[in-house]
Structure 1
Amino acid sequence: MPVTIVDACRRDGRGGSPTAVLDDGPLSDAERRAVPALMGTSHAVFVSAQDDGPDVSIRFFTTEGELPACGHGTVAALAVLAERAGSDDHRAVLRTSRRTFTGRCIRNGSQFTADFDPGPVDLREPTAHESALVLPALGIEPGVLASGLRVASVGRPRMLVPVPTRSALTALAPDQVRLRAACDELGLLGAYVHTPPTGGGRLAARLFAPSIGVPEDIANANSTACLAAHLAGRGITDISVDMGDSLGAPSTITATTRQGASRPVVRVGGTATIARITVLPQA
């Protein structure tokens, strides 16, 4: 079974999150969960064309199971679809188990720049109980926390945790066992810790998600979309988020927010390259 490895959400031609993309087939969910470990990636994306048109169904898996959404996985899938179509400006209608949405991918040589509609973002303040479980597991003392703590969801909730500086972000060393227990109890995907944006909308973030088998994610576009919706309430409509530095894989995700009829409308994405095409080894 051919597998395309895509480095998604690269920064200045470097890094990115290696993501396995392959055609879906007669696989069990257990076999799909095995793919990330077999391919040395955090996530795997399974794509299948619809019989009645150009729409494409996509499914996302980690070693822990299926996810309702995956932002950098969507960027990777769009790059592969554009490559297969031989198009320099490829547009697709993507279907998951929960929603249908649009994506676009621009090709420039070997680089693919993709963006998509992550869907509506739900935002709320965390409860005291949620904060009391998650923040100590992250190793964040109340005096280090910046303002703007939120729980946000584009399919599965996660906590947005602001810290004042990049040095405070770099110094984090979460207790992964304690954080997983907290996220499992609260039904959270994980904790997305971020710095404040600069005047140009640049900031840094780290996502810790042991509950889905990813102690730290190299790049996470859906959490960036959540943050973009939150910051839109402060008049910040364009952000670029640096991730992956602590893992030696510099990545950047961009998001643009515009006000819709009832809530902010976000487009999120990044650049990608196809690293290699290989075959799926037997487990």
Structure 2
Amino acid sequence: MRVFVVDAFTDSAFAGNPAGVVLLDSPADAAWMQSVAAELRHSETAFVVVGGPADEAKPLRWFTPTTEVPLCGHGTLAAAHVLGGDQRFDTRSGVLTCTALADGWIELDFPADRAEPVEPPDALAAGLPGVTVEAAAQAATKVLVLAASAAEVRAVRPDLAALATVPSRGVIITAPGDRPGVDFVSRVFSPQVGIAEDPVTGSAHCTLATWWAARLHRDPRETTFVGEQASARGGVVRMALRGDRVGLRGQAVTTLRGELLV
């Protein structure tokens, strides 16, 4: 089986979010895929069945080192990049369409994940020391936290043990952008699923796009944003919010290709 490592949401190697991509001739056992993901040790590894009819959506699943996840943006971008850009994937989150754009970026058509305001969980104060929690909201899988400034987002050193007690699959912290051309910054911590900090998280931007839509003014026919995920590796996500769908736009670089022997 062919295996790849792809840096997603970046145009430079060793930046963005690395994902494993494994191409399968037929569906594989879930326990085996989990073992492969644990061996590769990236935040997610994407498994794509490429042996079916060419005109059908390709089955796609994503695994962290410890568990399967229902949606993964950078893993989808990585898989589309390996397969040439224009793709349709059959996933636990429905059929996802990927389109190669003229400027070399790839757009992923993902479901919007709107967050509803909630009282901040008590663990956030301990888990995000030095952060002024101005608001909190609950999306389908993650809690979103609005910080007072981008500087707080960039500087926070989370208490991962405390964040692991937040009843969610992860915590997004965000604030308005602090440099030209960037609408907002964010970071994502998911110790609940074995990921201390995700370098660039496509699925989180399905929530961030809807959150910032109520706070930034754009053309109402298509609300567009640029988000910077301010992890150590860093990455940029362009977004186009269209009702209940979000177009996530990113670049990718293949850093490794090889053969899986077991």
TM-score (norm 2): 0.86
Matches within 5 A, 1:1-12: 1-10=1-10
Cα gap change, 1:244/1:14 in structure 2, threshold over 3 Å: closer, same or farther?
farther
How far did 1:51 drift? Answer: 3.2
Q: Deviations over 1:14-68 (max 9, x none)?
A: 6121111012356432321222342242210000134372421110001121100
Query: Are the equivalent residues in 2 in contact too, given 1:14–1:250 (CA < 8 A)?
Result: no
Map of 1:270 onto structure 2: 250
Residues 83-94 of structure 1 mapped to structure 2, 5 A cutoff: 90-94=85-89
- Tell me the distance in 2 between the aligned counterparts of 1:106 and 1:276: 24
Match of 1:211 in 2: 192
* Alignment check: 8 A CA contact 2:114 2:211 kept: no
Instruction: Within 5 Å, give how 1:50-61 maps onto structure 2.
Output: 50-51=52-53, 53-61=55-63
Looking at structure 2, the residues matched to 71 and 215 of structure 1 have their Cα atoms a distance apart, in angstroms, of 17
1:117 is paired with a residue whose SS is strand
Would you tell me which structure has more helix in proportion to its own residues? 1
CA distance 1:178–1:12, change in 2 (3 Å): same
Query: Which of these residues, 153, 157, 160, is aligned with residue 176 of structure 1?
Result: 160
Paired amino acid for 2:7: D
Instruction: Note if contact 1:200-1:239 (Cα within 8 Å) is conserved in structure 2.
Output: no
SS of 1:223's partner is: helix
Q: Note closer, same or farther for the CA distance 1:98–1:167 as it changes in structure 2 (3 Å cut).
A: closer
Identity %: 24
Question: Is the contact made by 1:43 and 1:62 (CA closer than 8 Å) also made in structure 2?
Answer: yes
Q: Which amino acid aligns with 1:8?
A: A
Query: Aligned pair in 2 of structure 1 residues 202, 231: CA closer, same or farther (>3 Å)?
Result: closer
Q: Could you tell me which residue of structure 2 aligns to residue 254 of structure 1? A: 238
Give the AA of the match of 1:39. Answer: L
Following superposition, the deviation at residue 13 of structure 1 comes to: 6.8
1:119 aligns with 2:119: no
2:214 is aligned with 1:226: no
Q: What aligned pairs does 1:73-92 form with structure 2 within 5 A after superposition?
A: 73-82=75-84, 90-92=85-87
For the structure 1 residues 170 and 281, does the alpha-carbon distance in structure 2 shift closer, same or farther, using more than 3 Å as the test?
A: farther
| Matched residue type, 1:121 | D
1:240 aligns with 226
Do the aligned partners of 1:169 and 1:193 also contact (CA within 8 Å) in 2? yes
Matched, 1:29 2:27: no
Q: Deviations over 1:235-255 (max 9, x none)?
A: 353222222543xx2211111
Deviation at 1:193, TM superposition (A): 0.7
**CA contact under 8 A between 1:193 and 1:205: conserved in structure 2?**
yes
Q: Which amino acid aligns with 1:276?
A: L
Residue of structure 2 aligned with 1:138, choices 128, 131, 143: 128
Q: Deviations over 1:171-211 (max 9, x none)?
A: 212111221122xxx2x111111121467443221100011
Which secondary structure does the structure 2 equivalent of 1:121 belong to? coil
SS at match of 1:145: coil
Q: How many residues align?
A: 254
The one-letter amino acid of 1:67's match is V
The 3-state SS of whatever aligns with 1:10 is coil
Query: With structure 1 as the length reference, what TM-score do the two structures score?
Result: 0.80
* Secondary structure of the corresponding residue to residue 193 of structure 1: strand
C-alpha distance in 1, partners of 2:261/2:190?
Answer: 27
Structure 1 residues 173 and 37, CA gap change in structure 2 (3 angstroms): same
